[in-house]
Structure 1
Amino acid sequence: MKDPRVKSFGPITTAHLFDIVIDLEPRLEIGEGPLGRRILFGAAGGTFEGPKLHGEVLAGGGDWALFRPDGAMALDVRLTLRTHDGALVQMTYGGRWITPPELRADIADPVRRYQVDPNSYYFRTNPLFETGAKQYAWLNDIVCVGMGYLVEGGIAYKVAQVV
Structure 2
Amino acid sequence: MTLHPEPQAPALDYVGTLTVHIAEPIDVGPTPEGHRRIIPITGGTAAGPRLTGRVLAGGADFQTLHSRELTELEARYALETEDGAVISVDNAALRSGSPEAMGRLIRGEAVDPAEIYFRCAVRLRASAPAWDWVNRTLFVGTGERYPGSVLVHIFAMG
TM-score by length of 1: 0.88
> For 2:133 and 2:60, how far apart are their aligned partners in 1?
24
Amino acid at match of 2:33: L
Given that 2:93 and 2:121 are in contact with CA atoms closer than 8 Å, whether structure 1 keeps it comes out as yes
Shift in Å, 1:75: 0.8
RMSD: 1.8
The one of 51, 67, 92 aligned to 1:94: 92
Matched, 1:157 2:152: yes
Which residue of 115, 122, 125 maps to 1:127?
122
- Which of 22, 39, 48 matches 1:50? 48
Q: 2:35 aligns with which of 34, 37, 48?
A: 37
State percent identity of aligned pairs.
25
Q: How do 1:10-89 residues align onto structure 2 when only pairs under 5 Å count?
A: 10-69=8-67, 71-89=69-87
SS at match of 1:137: helix
Unmatched 5+ residue regions in structure 1?
Answer: none
Change (3 A) 1:14 1:28: same
> In structure 2, do the counterparts of structure 1 residues 33 and 94 end up closer, same or farther at CA, with 3 Å as the change threshold?
same
Per-residue Cα deviation, 1:57-116 (whole angstroms, up to 9, x for no partner): 001111111111353100111110100111000010211000212423433454xx32x3
1:14-51: CA deviations, max 9, x gaps? 01011111001221111211101110011000001111
Aligned to 2:136: 141
Judge which range, 62-71 or 78-87, deviates more.
62-71
Q: How many residues align?
A: 156
Please give the alpha-carbon distance, in whole angstroms, between the structure 1 residues aligned to 2:24 and 2:68: 24
Determine helix, strand or coil for the equivalent of 2:133.
helix
Checking the alignment, whether the CA contact within 8 Å between 2:68 and 2:99 is kept in structure 1 is: no
